[in-house]
Amino acid sequence: MSYVTGFLTPVKTEDKERYIASAQKSWPLFQKYGALEQIECWGEDIPPGKVTGFDLAVKLEPGEVVVFAWLKWPDRATADACWQQMEADPAFADMDMPFDGKRMMWGGFAPVFEGK
């Protein structure tokens, strides 16, 4: 079954085009390592959290937007291999990362249902 790596990160509103360009540049690299799909979503309706929420999870600051993204892989082994290999790939080292990586979160998920 497929595998998903999910990401949540704050990005400055003024860096939207820069973020999109970075995502577009990263797609061929992820695809080279076996990714089936890359989805990048710019937050539009993010209600303020009281106990928890997307804004609180990334410690959103004024002038920032929450970005929610994921990569779909054929399986976990392919995703794990990508993360190991990308550390040595100079193409990844040259990527523009227009966000605060310290407040980014990510994780791997095994789908339990896929509706299509």
Q: How confident is the model at residue 52 (pLDDT cuts 50, 70, 90)?
A: very high
Flag whether pLDDT at 96 surpasses 80.
no
In this predicted structure, what is the pLDDT of residue 31?
96
26: buried, middle or exposed (CB in 10 Å: 19+, 13-18, 0-12)?
buried
The alpha carbon of 94 is separated from its chain's Cα centroid by a whole number of angstroms, namely: 17
Flag whether pLDDT at 89 surpasses 90.
no
Domain ranges of the chain: 3-109
Contact 6, 70 (CB under 8 A): yes
Flag whether pLDDT at 114 surpasses 80.
yes
Flag whether pLDDT at 109 surpasses 90.
yes
Contact 76, 108 (CB under 8 A): yes
The alpha carbon of 66 is separated from its chain's Cα centroid by a whole number of angstroms, namely: 11
Distances (CA, A) of 32 to 92, 96, 105: 12, 18, 23
Query: Mean pLDDT lowest for which of 26-30, 71-75, 100-104?
Result: 100-104
Would you give the end-to-end CA distance of the chain in angstroms?
15
Query: Mean pLDDT lowest for which of 39-48, 91-100, 104-113?
Result: 91-100
CATH top class, domain 3-109: alpha beta
Flag whether pLDDT at 91 surpasses 80.
no
Structure token pair of residue 40? 């990048």
